[in-house]
Structure 1
Amino acid sequence: MEALFTSAALVALAEMGDKTQLLAMLLATRFRKPAPIILGIFGATVANHFLAALVGHSIAGVLTQGWFRYAVAASFIAMAAWTLIPDKIDEDAPLKAPSKAGVFVTTLIAFFLVEMGDKTQVATVALGARFDNLLAVTMGTTLGMMIANVPAVLFGEALAKKVPMRALQIGAALLFLALGLWMLADLQGWIG
């Protein structure tokens, strides 16, 4: 359960103000069809985050050396800093659903591609390396993405005006920092 809840919380907070959340808002305002957009985000996230968690889990299984565990802890601390850098997306760029693909496929492809190398994908790799439960990490990170993006799709512009994105980014950064410091303390034998 720790892997599920930690993954969900970290990704939900890290996603606030992230480029994929901005993409979700953009898709919602352009297409005005929330159901296929939400389903496309869900499908893209499950696929992307399963692969990311699998990479993290595979690396952790191969590299069980102490230095690798320090690298994972350092990656969480680096994620804390990266989370403080706000993302931007070009809202003037044309985004039209291809006539044959439709809103669902457009969302699925766009969201999957935009998530590549994104903060939440990198966090999922690190979480996959940290926890020994690939399914819980994938479910947790997907839940976190949906917690952050479903309201963005449903409430779009109104949400962007009322939610203090900077406070959410700072909260996410503090969670990443706390997890990284906790891992370092555990490696040093200061915990437990």
Structure 2
Amino acid sequence: MKTIRKASVADAFAIAPLIDLAMEHMIVAYIFAGDRPQGLSYLRQLISRLDTPYSYRFINVFEEDHKILGHICLYPMEEITGLRHTMVENLPAGMESVFELPADTYPAAPGEIYIDTLAVLPEAQGKGIGSQLLQHVMTTYRNQKHYFLSLLVAKDNPKAHKLYRSLGFVDVAERNLMDKEFYYMQWKSTT
């Protein structure tokens, strides 16, 4: 049976590798020098807490036959400062600068719900799971006029950019983050 549901603390082991995948292995590669067990342990800690941007309370999962195949993590941008502070304070000593971002990287607007990560296990890709997760979130916010969804998509990921555009996201700006170019996209309900 296929279902999309809110994540729980018990899902942390399945979600951590998905977040790592969505972040292109940044946590493991840069912060933990390739030490995958240590990097995934850190992500599981973030997922298990209530006060981080990767908390289970901000995650929906796609599950088939009791196996998590994909996830989407989104949160109100108005909370980002406090959420990021908790995440950074739990990094290994000396790594805090990895998450120091220019103030205009996340110019939170009232009602902005930021889609931070979306990933599907490689063996489950190409089956529409990412689209289903996005559509689930869009349905949740469709009738809430004072909210809008936003995300960043790497310019070197035209497949994802095309998917977001096909679902109604529009390019609003361009951003440079950690020496990589991104499109900043938004979706607002038209109903």
TM-score range, shorter chain: under 0.3
Q: Choose 1 or 2 for highest CA Rg.
A: 1
Query: Structure 2 length as normaliser, TM-score?
Result: 0.23
Query: Structure 1 length as normaliser, TM-score?
Result: 0.23
Greater helix share, structure number = 1
Greater strand share, structure number = 2
